[in-house]
Structure 1
Amino acid sequence: MEVKDQLNQMQAMMEQLVKMVGHNNAVTEELIQRMDRLEAKVGSLETKMENGFTDVVQMITVLGEKVDKIDATQILHSEMLRKLAADTAQHEAEIILLKRAK
């Protein structure tokens, strides 16, 4: 009887082992699926980050171009004001000379 009891115990232990291996395989498969989903999410986030970085670079480029245009416009306006002031001074001088000539 002792051998039969030992065989029964071994069979019970083997059944437990099979169940544990099956459970471990199921857990492993679930972990693999979770990792696959996480990798997909990380890939999506990387793409969004790269696109966002590209958008920021484009915005900075556009802003830089606008600043350059503002600088050029300010230089032009300064030159126009300088010329206007010079013309005004010239006209005032001519008016004074005309008044004296009368």
Structure 2
Amino acid sequence: MQAILEAESTLTDRYQTTVPENVRRALQLNKRDKVHYTIRSNGEVVLTRAQPSENDDPVLGQFLGFLARDIASHPGHVQAMDTGLVQRLQFLVSGIKVDLDAALSEDDE
């Protein structure tokens, strides 16, 4: 098979590399996207854009990414919850039973 694009990158001391810009554009990769590697028996490695699994929640993923970036940018803003707040939360949810495996009702869908 003839190559339509070739590129090189260098491994760092921690075995990390940057995906070259022309490869990122060809695969339409953005920050935080995942890549998939397929290693063939002849030693070739095929790099593709990873497809999200059906269990991935894109909104939750974006929110968690936002939290991670915010914590990294402002580590001093992270604070432990005080005892009063923990007790208030425990009071508000006491007696509520949750079955995480139960199906949602039509109203909750």
**TM interval, short-chain normalised:** under 0.3
User: Normalised by the size of structure 2, how large is the TM-score?
Assistant: 0.18
Higher RCO (CA 8 Å, separation ≥ 6 residues): 2
Q: Normalised by the size of structure 1, how large is the TM-score? A: 0.20
